[in-house]
A = this chain, B = another copy of it.
C-alpha cells in the first residue's frame, strides 16, 4: 500500500531527488514521522531536528537541499514546502467526506422555509419560518436556525450552532459547533434602581468565506447590524458585542473580546485573550499582541501590546524598565548615600579650619 513519491511530487510540481518509486504511506512532522512517512523542511532552523528523523522522504527547497544534513534523505524540491505538504496531505489522508446530502427525517423544518439543492440537514436540526438556505449547505445535527435567517451557498453550520432570528450568513462561511450568532446585545438603561432591557432590534451579517470557532458568540446589533467582513477568521470562545463592524481578512485568536460598537479595518490581527474597549477603532493592518487590553484607537499598520496597550516598542521599553526597577531603587539609594557623604564633605570644607584638616 501507499502512493509512489513520483505521483505525490506531481501534485505539487516537485522534483524528486532519489527513488521516485518509493511508496509513501502518510505525512507527519519531522519528530513524529515513521518509516514510510513524508515530512518537510521549510527553514534552516529545522535542520538540527533531522538527526533522528525517520521520514522516508522530505519536501524542501532547492536552496536547503544543498545542506549535507539533508543528504541521507530522498528529497522533493518545491518552491513552498509547507504549502506543498498541506496539498499532499489531503491526498494521503483525505479529510472525511461531508455528510451524505439529504434531510434527516427528525429535522424540523418550517413549511415556509426554502432549502436549496444538495444540502444536508442533520437529525434534530430546527429551521424556522421564512428561512432561506442556498445550495450545497451543511446544517449539522442540533443546529437551530431562527425565523427569517438567510444562508448563502456552501455554508457549513456544525452541530448545535444557534442562529437567532434574521441573521444572514454569506457563501462558503463555516461556523463551528456551539457558536451562538445573534443573541441580544448587552444593553440596559438604569432607572428607578434597576436595569431595564433596551430592545436589541438589529441583526448580524456574516459575509463570504468567514470561519467562526466553537463556542464563539456574536451578538445582534441594538439597531442595525453587527458585521463580520469577508474572509475574516475567528477562533474559539471569541466574543463580538453588538454593533461591532469587523473588516475583511481579520484574524482573531481564541478568547478575544470586543465590547460594543468597535470597528476594524482590513487585515487586523488580535492575539489570544485580547480585550477591546467599546467604540474603539482598530485601523487597517494593525495588530494587538496576546492578552493586550486596548482602550485607544490603534493606527493603521501599528502593533500594540500590553495592558493598557501601547505601541510595541514603547511597551517593550516599559517592561524592560520595570524589570530593572529593583536595580534602579538600589541605584537611587546609593546616590542618596553618596550625596549625603558629599554634603558632609562640603560642610567640612566650609568650616574655617577645614582646610587645615
Q: How far is the CB of A91 from chain B (nearest CB, A)?
A: 11
A254 at the interface (CB under 8 A from B): yes
Per-position binary interface string of chain A over residues 279-316, scored 1 when its CB falls under 8 Å from any chain B CB and 0 otherwise:
00000000000110101000000000001101000000
Say yes or no: B253 contacts A277, CB within 8 Å. Answer: no
Task: Tell me the smallest distance from the CB of A208 to a CB of chain B, in Å.
Answer: 11
Q: Closest chain B residue to A96 by CB distance?
A: B165
Counted per complex, copies of this chain come to 3
Q: A89-B201, A342-B342 given as contacts; is B321 within 8 A of A215 (CB)? A: no
Write the nearest CB–CB distance from A177 to chain B, whole angstroms.
Answer: 4
* Count of chain A residues near B, Cβ 8 A: 108
Are A141 and B335 in touch, CB under 8 angstroms? no
User: Is A4 an interface position by the 8 A CB rule?
Assistant: no
In the complex, per-residue mask of A126-149: 1 if CB is within 8 Å of any chain B CB, else 0: 100000000000001110100110
The segment from A7-15, A50-58, A233-241 found at the interface with B is A233-241
The CA of A89 and the CA of B308, in the complex, are separated in Å by 37
Interface contact B126-A144, CB-CB below 8 Å: no
Contact B223 A29 (CB under 8 A): yes
- A223 to B95 alpha-carbon distance, docked (Å): 11
8 contacts between A and B (CB under 8 A): A29-B223, A96-B165, A96-B166, A144-B159, A255-B275, A290-B293, A318-B323, A321-B328
